[in-house]
Structure 1
Amino acid sequence: MASDAPSPQRENTPSGVPPSIPQKRALADDDHTPAISSPLNPDGKPAQRVQIQTPEEGQAAMSREKRTKKDSLKKRESKGTAAGNTDSARATPDRKVQKDVTLVELAPLRYKLPLPKPTDFEPPRGPVFTSHHVIQDLDGKTVEFLEPSDQVSNKKNYQYTHCIADPIFPSLFYYRRTEPEPFGPHISFEDRASHVLSNSLGNHITTDKGFRTARANVAAREGRWYWECKITRGILKKRSDGDPESHGHVRLGWARREASLDAPVGFDAYSYGIRDVAGQKVHMSRPKDFFPPGEDLREGDVIGLEIQLPSERLHRKVVQGQYNPAVDLADEELHGSGPAPEASNIVRDRIPIRFKSHIYFEKIDYHTTKELDDLMNPSPMAAGASSEPPNPNHPAPALRTLPNSHIKLYKNGVLMGTPFTDLLSFLPPASKMTQQPPGRECLDDGSLGYYPAVSVFRGGAVELNFGPDFWFPPPGISAAGEGEGSAEDVDMVDAGAVPRRPPPNLAPISDRYSEQIAEDIVYDIIDEVGFLMQDGGKVVDRTGKDDKASEAPGLVPVASEDIKELVQDD
């Protein structure tokens, strides 16, 4: 039976969520942000919340907007470093950016030195010699070979040059470089192996031991330079019955700072040499035939060695990986090896030391690199960039070669040929110093370059001539700024043609010595001005009465009250 009571109405399903169920709160901007930065999120910023879209809306959004390209991790870290974000920089530093900034802002290290002694202002004395033995040269003249007994030699990755205290310098660094007698280019008395004997002028050397090498006190960095030497004791040219085959052996060539002095020229990748046996050229201990048939090296022969290096402008482009042969070679031909638009950043970290009665600057020397060691002794497992031969655009700076560089050889004034081309680069980072704080290994202290070098073996003797008066002058030799092809010469060219600079002069290495002395004077002045500006432009008290003057910023203290005394074993 039906009831007259109205039936209950069904309630509509509520559109919202019942209040009894907890509602998720909207995420704030700082929610789920990591406490510290991470490599994937170096800035520590929260990720944007993704809104759910329908497939149709997603396709439309993708068609409207392109995906924004994110910077790489290294680029973000470099930006963080520039903006002062030390956390991201500490995670994975951008070594290249930091190294460039460091080199630009680099200044020589300065030491807190005691007051100079009165004798420090006196000109340095030359080496003290003791007589070793006497020989007769080919002209019948007596040559006395001497052994130095009171000098320091370059050992244990250090290099030594003479210095003197200067009363005019206004900063706390009292010393500057100087040269003792004999003045002029000669075989260095410090930069040579032990048991190398020489005359008092440093232009005639021999040894009674195995192969020993000595470098000159002047280096070629750019341009064309020439020197010659005479073999006074070596393989005999004519022999009688009972005569020995030779009075010793010699090798001649060019060597960098990293070249070993206890081995002959051409032993490693840092030197290029010519051996008297069969007149062979030697590089990395690999002798190869060079002299024409019937030619050799004997006693009395005069050997001339010419080197040509590109401008430092082009050299820096090569070692910095910016060399473009299509552009840079034309620019080199246009400007030649003249003054570069910007000078090299020469940084000389050095400290005066005492050795017996002499004062020397001690500074870090350059060491061999793994890339060139591997080039000399290649591993059978080597692959990739290490197996690529040296070239101007090699991935490794040490294996980059210098365009238009070569070494030519003359015998008694006659050109024998070009034994070496595409010489290895030497400017940093191709050359590196022994590591020193704060990471200053890729520096150019002005001593880099190719040095005239001579090796002697068991009685072999060589007399050196660095010019300008040569026994057999090569064609085109001239003093700096003189002769054909000099900078003052003007060639007539067609209208509208681009004038080309003539090739650089072939000059005696003695002219390079004069340039090197002038460069040292300029570098000393620049260092003093830099030190003076670090002191606020004020002349510091040099009497030692003002204690505040000795607390100038940037000084590295020396533990001793006096300059340290160098002790060197034989």
Structure 2
Amino acid sequence: MAVPLGGNVKGRQGKRRPAVGLEASAPVGKKGRSADLSALKLPSHGYPTEHPFNKDGYRYILAEPDPHAPFRQEFDESNEWSGKPIPGWLYRSLCPGIVLLALHDRAPQLKIAEDRLAVTGEKGYCMVRATHGVSRGAWYWEAGVEEMPEGAAARLGWGRRYANLQAPLGYDKFGYSWRSRKGTRFHESRGRHYSAAYGEGDTLGFLLVLPERAAAAACTPNTYKDRPLVKFKSHLYYEDKDNIQESLNNLKALPGSRIYFFKNGECQGEAFADIYQGCYYPTVSLHKNVTVSVNFGPNFKFPPTTDCNYRPMSEKAEEAICEQTMADLLFLTENEGKLRLDTFNL
């Protein structure tokens, strides 16, 4: 069963133009007071079925009320902020408790299964990322090729947040992929012979090794509490602007980093070495109506035979919650004075 596609956000000349229903304000109750979003129910798969997509240089991160935000009681009891935008620091980014395929961080034409563990392509190459990424350590995930009609193809592997969703993985500097046709490996649109082809019925494995000496800053996620909140279909989202050029300028190879691909339990050898430092997400890109399922662990069909002490991607969910909480606490601590001033000046 496919999840219904939501709205999208279109940019024009570098300026944000909201989709219908996307407003830079808080939801308002019957008396003009902002409604409490904690009462809003999420679907069983943990994300609104109608939502803004990451597109045109902007990213949208689902937010939830932060019960630990300072001065929250003063805001709740005050009539002075009625009708004003809710400060972003009163909320926090909703961190999923399980690793799944992202509904918002994908090309809209892709069809995501109800359990968010399978995806079907349509027409030209486009991609979807997982909900969680990793920036250090060794991590593994699996994909199964469920259906691959004649003429269809897949490129699977690891991609960063800036990898173009409307292109095959490995099209730019932000992704490393393994193509079903001829088993070619791709990075920056350059294909190199790697292995035999794979197809329907095969189970593929993806092992990423990032040295622990990776910069500590890369291990602490962004806090979005200083970002504006926008409303879409009764939910609030942080709006964050991409800076792709800055990221391109700061690309640095990470010595000792490696990527290995596996086919039905057999390692196909080292695919890439000394990749660019950064946060990498399990990524699926599909051409035409191929269907691929994903398995983020902890139980794999073919656990990789390697001396590397890897972790299943499923373990990243709990770790990410801890990392995000730490980032939020650091922001609130460092900005306590400014937040107090803003609170009582409303």
TM-score range, shorter chain: 0.7 to 0.9
Which of 229, 237, 240 is matched with 1:352 structurally? 229
SS of the residue 1:363 aligns to: strand
Q: Structure 1-normalised TM-score?
A: 0.49
Which of 315, 319, 322 is matched with 1:515 structurally? 319
Give unmatched runs, 5+ long, in structure 1.
1-110, 129-147, 236-245, 317-339, 373-395, 427-448, 478-503, 542-548, 552-570
* CA distance 1:233–1:366, shift in 2 (3 Å): farther
How many Å separate the matches in 1 of 2:158 and 2:108?
19
Which of 219, 222, 231 is matched with 2:133 structurally? 219
Question: Retained in 1: the 8 A contact 2:27–2:35?
Answer: no
CA deviation map 1:385-441 (0-9, x unaligned) = xxxxxxxxxxx642x310100100111111111111110123xxxxxxxxxxxxxxx
SS of the residue 1:297 aligns to: coil
How many Å separate the matches in 1 of 2:25 and 2:35?
18
User: Higher strand share goes to which structure?
Assistant: 2
Amino acid at match of 2:140: Y
Q: Which residue of 2 aligns with 1:264?
A: 168
How many Å separate the matches in 2 of 1:214 and 1:343?
22
Q: Structure 2-normalised TM-score?
A: 0.78
User: How many positions carry a matched residue from both structures?
Assistant: 301
Q: Give the Å deviation of 1:201.
A: 1.4
CA RMSD, Structure 1 to Structure 2 (Å): 3.1
SS of the residue 1:524 aligns to: helix
How many Å separate the matches in 1 of 2:221 and 2:141?
28
* CA distance 1:216–1:252, shift in 2 (3 Å): same
CA deviation map 1:452-489 (0-9, x unaligned) = 10011111110000000111111359xxxxxxxxxxxx
How many Å separate the matches in 1 of 2:317 and 2:258?
21
Amino acid at match of 1:153: F
Question: Retained in 1: the 8 A contact 2:127–2:284?
Answer: yes
How many Å separate the matches in 1 of 2:203 and 2:245?
32
How many Å separate the matches in 2 of 1:459 and 1:511?
31
Amino acid at match of 1:409: F
SS of the residue 1:176 aligns to: strand
Question: Retained in 1: the 8 A contact 2:139–2:207?
Answer: yes
Q: Which residue of 1 aligns with 2:91?
A: 175
How many Å separate the matches in 1 of 2:223 and 2:67?
23
Q: Give the Å deviation of 1:123.
A: 5.1
Which of 214, 239, 247 is matched with 1:315 structurally? 214
Q: Which range moves more in the overlay, 523-532 or 510-519?
A: 523-532
Which of 279, 299, 321 is matched with 2:200 structurally? 299
How many Å separate the matches in 2 of 1:277 and 1:126?
37
Equivalent residues in 2 for 1:522-533 (5 A)? 522-533=326-337
SS of the residue 1:361 aligns to: strand
Amino acid at match of 2:157: G
How many Å separate the matches in 1 of 2:65 and 2:145?
40
How many Å separate the matches in 2 of 1:223 and 1:302?
23
SS of the residue 1:350 aligns to: coil
Question: Retained in 2: the 8 A contact 1:124–1:162?
Answer: no
How many Å separate the matches in 2 of 1:274 and 1:458?
17
Q: Give the Å deviation of 1:362.
A: 1.2
Give unmatched runs, 5+ long, in structure 2.
1-23, 72-86
Which of 449, 456, 465 is matched with 2:295 structurally? 465
* CA distance 1:213–1:114, shift in 2 (3 Å): closer
Equivalent residues in 2 for 1:107-506 (5 A)? 117-122=34-39, 125-126=42-43, 150-171=50-71, 173-179=89-95, 183-234=97-148, 246=150, 248-291=152-195, 295-311=196-212, 314-316=213-215, 346=222, 348=224, 349-368=226-245, 397-398=250-251, 400-426=252-278, 449-475=279-305, 505-506=309-310
SS of the residue 2:166 aligns to: coil
How many Å separate the matches in 1 of 2:157 and 2:218?
31
How many Å separate the matches in 2 of 1:113 and 1:530?
25
Higher Rg of the two aligned structures: 1
SS of the residue 2:214 aligns to: helix
Amino acid at match of 1:550: N
Q: Give the Å deviation of 1:289.
A: 0.8
How many Å separate the matches in 2 of 1:342 and 1:189?
24
Amino acid at match of 2:159: A
Hey, which bits of structure 1, 4+ residues long, moved more than 4 A? 111-116, 340-347
Question: Retained in 1: the 8 A contact 2:26–2:236?
Answer: no
